Amino acid sequence: MLFVFASGRASASPDQPGQLDFGGLVRTYVVHAPAGVSHPVGLVVNLHGGGGTGRGEEALTHYDAVADAHGFVVVYPDGIDKNWADGRGASEPNRRGIDDVGFISALVSKLAADYGIDAGHIFATGMSNGAFMTNRLACDRADLFAAIAPVSGTLGVNVECTPSRPVAVLEIHGTADPIVPFDGGAMIGRGGPSTIVSAPSMVERWRDIDGCQSDPGQDVLPRNSDGTEVHRFTTTSCADGTAVVFMAVDNGGHTWPGGTQYPPKAVIGPTSHAFDASETSWQFFASHIR
């Protein structure tokens, strides 16, 4: 079924699977477009964690509801072997030389054309392995992505990051994350071991890249009953109108704040409900359109 908007463009009804031939492989994804919106205000690429799928990320983050409320398109691509080639070398796609930066960039170009989305309105977010991939996208394709919001992921220490221009960044990470350590160092993911940048160091790197000129302002979100407390560090004096925001979730686990609790809670850690990472990330994106 198709909805034909007033602009004359055709848009798939919500939650449509798609395929894209890239690099000799058939790559798959799920796209959600708010019905009846003739000119979506943006496109968000939402990347699953290691061992996950686009459908799983859709369910975890409830980003469809945020897209419907604000009139943007969200796409959930699928990684090869349920992982992303984020540069750490700790995944089957990395070992096979899969070009996930190229695939995601090509997918963005296709969807931007299909839905009439303006340049400068392209954003990326993701969980865990998807967050590592999100940071890599900003490092390699700063010309394409205006802002990113990685959740529970940074970069491998071996991954270069020399963006062609500043990128607005919202970094979200639990201090008690048992999978992707907040303080960096050695970790073992689904694909194997790697050594990673700490969350605070990743934020400092983005502040340097974006030429931020002042120390971050600090505030604490109101507490709730889930045992977490969110400290927010905001730097806005950055080049080209960008900003770097760090939301450190004290006692937060390897989870998507406001999303579904990853099982088992005793191993993964608690999901904070002090804020909704989906709504918060979209509000950040909307304020950093180029």
Main-chain phi, psi angles of 244, to 5 degrees: -125, 120
> Hey, where are the domains in the chain?
2-286
Residue pair 236/218 in contact (Cβ under 8 Å)? The answer is no
Its pTM stands at 0.93
pLDDT tens digits along 165-200: 999 999 999 999 999 999 999 999 888 899 999 999
More confident residue, 6 or 129: 129
- Return the pLDDT at 14: 58
Structure tokens at 270: 């608690």
- Return the pLDDT at 11: 42
65 pLDDT more than 80: yes
205 pLDDT more than 50: yes
Q: What is the mean pLDDT of the chain?
A: 93
Which residues sit opposite 11 in a β-bridge? 3
- Return the pLDDT at 189: 86
| CATH number listed for the domain at residues 2-286 | 3.40.50.1820
**One-letter identity of residue 139:** C
CA–CA distance, 121 with 67 (Å, rounded to integer): 13
Residues near 100 by beta carbon (within 8 Å), at least 6 away in sequence: 79, 80, 84, 85, 86, 93, 133
pLDDT tens digits along 220-268: 998 888 889 999 999 999 999 999 999 999 999 999 999 987 777 778 9
- Return the pLDDT at 261: 79
